[in-house]
Structure 1
Amino acid sequence: MKKRILGVLIGAFILFISITGCAVKSSNTSNAIDVQVATAQKQNIDAELNISGTLVPQKTVNVYSKLSGQVEKVNVEVGSEVKEKDLLAVIETNALNLQLEQLQASLNSAKASEELAKGQVAQAKINLDSMQRVYEETKNLYDKGIASKAQLNEIETKYEIAKKQYETALNGTLNQAKAAVSAAQANIKNIKFQISNAKITSPINGVVTNRNINPGELAAPTAPLFTIADVSTLKLKGTISQRYLPYIKINQTIDVVVDIYPNKVYKGVITSIGPMAIGTGMYFPIEISIKNIDNLKPGLSAYGRIKITSKDAVVIPASAVVKNDGKSYVYVIENNTAKKRYVETGLLNDKEVEIIEGLNENEKVAISNVNNLFDNAVVNVK
């Protein structure tokens, strides 16, 4: 009887263990998350790099007045198209014109004095030549014993006086008169130059983007009157991640699309890549120039497109990557368990993504239900 009871108990215990084990196994199976997986492979990956930014003028020039004075006339408005040397504004020159008249009168007077001095020099030269001949004749007579020493000394004295009068007229009076003429001419040239500065002209072809003066206001050399933008060529200014620097270079051709004209593609050229990163060191400034053949307006948003290829890269489906708080991670599947692993991504297209760091070739990653997974989650690979 005891053996029979013991046998019944042992059988019941075995049955309990079997049922419990099946229940646990059934529970684990029911809690597993169904996933599909893909294997990381080394291959080439093609992608399109987009550089977003704003179109700005190729060149912008502030126009200053070289002359201080009241503005008499303004010929342009904001938005006016101008060509190089077009008249933008005029500054009043009444005071300068009066000074010019006075200086012109001074010049005329100086020229008259110069002519008078020239006459004095000519007369002094005639007197000098006459006295020189008399002196030479007297000296000849003296040498022959016909003229006395006193006569020679008297004529020599008169000759020296004539010579000094000539030198004074030539080097003193005439030179002073010439200097007065030169000074008057220089002053007139300066006033004329100031008057010419009263006409404010455009230094380039372009469009007026700022106008800071009105008729009747005072212009000064310290404040710009106008801003002229050369819009014949526009620049797309944006930034590019440091990881893409190896794929671009100066003078490289690039397609540019303006956001409001999505069906039109413009040909651009990379004209500048910043030598220094912005902020954290992750992004570099870049400029792309395009010919403004359609009269595009500065300030429009646009983006450049570059087709690039990374060779022999570790590539997985893009659906495997989860992004959160600026970081990227995948779930590596090992023995029906999902292991969360942070990765650094590279090139990306609609289907695939390059893994630069964090994943090796031939490792398997989940590509479905990734948003429902967690570290060490049990999975059921489909």
Structure 2
Amino acid sequence: MKKFLIIAAVLTVAAVIAVPVWISGNTKSVDVTTAKRGEIAVYFESTGEARPSQLSQVLSRANGAVTEVMVSPGDKVQAGDALFTVYSEATGGESVPAAADAAGSSARDELVRKSVVSSAQTYGYELSAFNEVMKNGIGNIAAETDTAFAVSSTAVSKSETVKSDISGSVIAVNAVQGDMVTAAAPVVTIGDTDHMDVYFFVSETDRSKISLDAACELSVNGSDTVYTGKIAEISDVLTADAAGNKSCEVRIVTTDEMNCIAGATVDVSVLTDAKEDTLLIDGDSAITDGTVMIVDEDNLARKRTITTGLVNDDYYEVTSGLSEGDRVILNQDEEINEGERLNIN
């Protein structure tokens, strides 16, 4: 009898030890996140292009031939630096009326002299350039001209060097030595590359997500350096691509000097909404049809219906259904049932 009691006692102790071990071995293990208060921000993501904040198209001032180009794309220039030279055939001066013939050769010669002097002054020549003409006699000009009084003015050639009006980098050169250009034709484009703006396109459906003065974060070619800026302009014109998708251009003014070249690819993040001191759960939380599973103080699974607000890649904002400190089950492969006992990893 005594031996039997000893055996029964041993079995009881073994059962007390074995049952929890068996239960533990069959209990599911889960990862959880703790609901906490914090800040959440939502961004609109896009890709844009860096462009100089100021562009200057330097124009030819006359019809003529380009005799020299002093710059190439990428060159740094200062305001006042010479860019190119154009040699032009220009017409100017005081007209010489045929009626002067009646006044005699001296009157005619005086009018021709005044025309030559006027042309020289108009086009920037030193009067000394005409000394040889003066020495040989003004009359010789008319004598050597087939139709001395058929012309109404005197032709004068001029070579003009055009200079940059801003400091920056040469973005484009549209002519080479020997090219013929017309007045007002753009020959060189200068950009203020020390100060960049960023341009990107936003679709017709996403246009309402952004607004003027919205804060932006910018990075060049995926670098870790983050620059800041704000939206300065949203185009009122939608343009369609080949597939018919409509979008409009947006300009960002940077508040930092971006270390990049014109045309560089820029990753754009535009702040669209943000909240502080709000209840958050991890972005990997298991949410199904507006419900989550939490683990209560007894390590039992409990279902909760929640309402979410702002969402980004990292967090969900929870506006109702949870309390700070609740342990929310993260996404996992195994199904969790209400009331099931769980182990927390």
TM-score, normalization by structure 2? 0.52
Contact 2:285–2:328 at 8 Å: present in 1 too? yes
Alignment of 1:285-300 (within 5 A): 285=250, 287-290=252-255, 292=257, 296-300=260-264
Task: Output the amino acid matched with 2:281.
Answer: I
2:179 to 197, 207, 217: 217
Query: Using the alignment, how far apart are the partners of 2:176 and 2:301 within structure 1?
Result: 79
How far the C-alpha of 1:50 sits from its partner, in A, is 8.7
Give deviations 1:91-146, integer Å, cap 9, x for gaps. Answer: 112x32xx45xx36959x99xx8xx99xxxxxxxxxxxxxxxxxxxxxxxxxxxxx
Query: Using the alignment, how far apart are the partners of 2:237 and 2:277 within structure 1?
Result: 28
Where does residue 333 of structure 2 map in the other structure? 372
Q: Does the C-alpha gap of structure 1 residues 317 and 217 become closer, same or farther in structure 2, counting only changes over 3 Å?
A: same
1:77 to 56, 72, 96: 72
| Bigger share in helix | 1
Q: Does the C-alpha gap of structure 1 residues 300 and 282 become closer, same or farther in structure 2, counting only changes over 3 Å?
A: closer
Query: Using the alignment, how far apart are the partners of 2:62 and 2:194 within structure 1?
Result: 30
Query: Using the alignment, how far apart are the partners of 1:104 and 1:348 within structure 2?
Result: 77
Segments of 5+ residues of structure 2 without an aligned counterpart are 1-25, 125-155, 295-299
Query: Using the alignment, how far apart are the partners of 1:380 and 1:236 within structure 2?
Result: 55
Where does residue 173 of structure 1 map in the other structure? none
Task: Output the amino acid matched with 1:211.
Answer: V
Q: Does 1:45 align with 2:39?
A: yes
Please tell me the root mean square deviation across aligned C-alpha atoms, in Å.
5.6
1:361 to 301, 305, 321: 321
1:311 to 253, 269, 276: 276
Query: Using the alignment, how far apart are the partners of 1:321 and 1:277 within structure 2?
Result: 42
Segments of 5+ residues of structure 1 without an aligned counterpart are 1-29, 118-179, 323-327
Larger radius of gyration: 1
How far the C-alpha of 1:303 sits from its partner, in A, is 5.2
Give deviations 1:26-72, integer Å, cap 9, x for gaps. Answer: xxxx8x9764555766x332559696644321112222323222211
Tell which deviates more after alignment, 65-74 or 221-230: 221-230
Where does residue 168 of structure 2 map in the other structure? 206
Query: Using the alignment, how far apart are the partners of 2:177 and 2:196 within structure 1?
Result: 32
Alignment of 1:46-195 (within 5 A): 46=40, 53-93=48-88, 95-96=89-90, 99-100=91-92, 103=93, 106=96, 188=119, 192=123
Where does residue 174 of structure 1 map in the other structure? none
Query: Using the alignment, how far apart are the partners of 2:336 and 2:55 within structure 1?
Result: 56
Query: Using the alignment, how far apart are the partners of 1:283 and 1:218 within structure 2?
Result: 38
Query: Using the alignment, how far apart are the partners of 1:361 and 1:341 within structure 2?
Result: 4
Task: Output the amino acid matched with 2:39.
Answer: I
Where does residue 159 of structure 1 map in the other structure? none
Q: Does 1:270 align with 2:234?
A: no
Task: Output the amino acid matched with 2:285.
Answer: A
Task: Output the amino acid matched with 2:263.
Answer: G
Query: Using the alignment, how far apart are the partners of 1:84 and 1:195 within structure 2?
Result: 27
Structure 1 SS opposite 2:284: helix
